[in-house]
Amino acid sequence: MHEASLVQGLLSLVLETVRDHNEAHPDDQVERITDIVCDMGLLSCVEPQTLSGCMELLAEGTPAEGARLTLRTSPLPCTCSRCGAAFELTRRHFACPVCGGDELNFSGGHGLTLQSISVASSPMQAGEEEHARTH
């Protein structure tokens, strides 16, 4: 499944970041990850809901369990091959805003890019854990 492999890649990057941090800062241990923010390429053709679902499953038992996944769509820089205009596409509407041409040059726009993570260095409170389990 396309989404699962994307999420797997993202998650291992997140967990690696936390592991590196913990190794470098023995006095400031990250216990869990609360938020993950990433940019989604305009052409990545993935459903945010499917991604969140995959993240929930794959993060189970890791410090990222229960983390909130925020997805943003990143604009795609393009140039028009007819009139040469340079612009950014923010939705999948492939037409030049200057001349209306549909021959556009662009690169990238696929996949997920990790932007930031938020962490908590204190263990989960008992009450919180209850709450998380009933969800």
Q: Least distance to Zn ion from the beta carbon of 105, Å?
A: 11
Q: Least distance to Zn ion from the beta carbon of 93, Å?
A: 14
Closest to Zn ion by CB, 17 or 94: 94
Half-sphere exposure of 3 (CA within 13 A, CB side): 14
Q: Is 13 exposed, middle or buried (0-12, 13-18, 19+ CB in 10 A)?
A: middle
In this structure, the number of other CB atoms found within 10 A of the CB of residue 38 comes to 23
Closest to Zn ion by CB, 64 or 80: 80
* Cβ–Cβ < 8 Å for 123, 132: no
The single-letter DSSP state of residue 13 is: H
Closest to Zn ion by CB, 9 or 84: 84
Q: Within 79-118, which residues bind Zn ion (CB under 5 A)?
A: 80, 82-83, 85, 96, 98-99, 101
* Cβ–Cβ < 8 Å for 88, 74: no
Closest to Zn ion by CB, 13 or 85: 85
Binding site for Zn ion (CB under 5 A): 80, 82-83, 85, 96, 98-99, 101
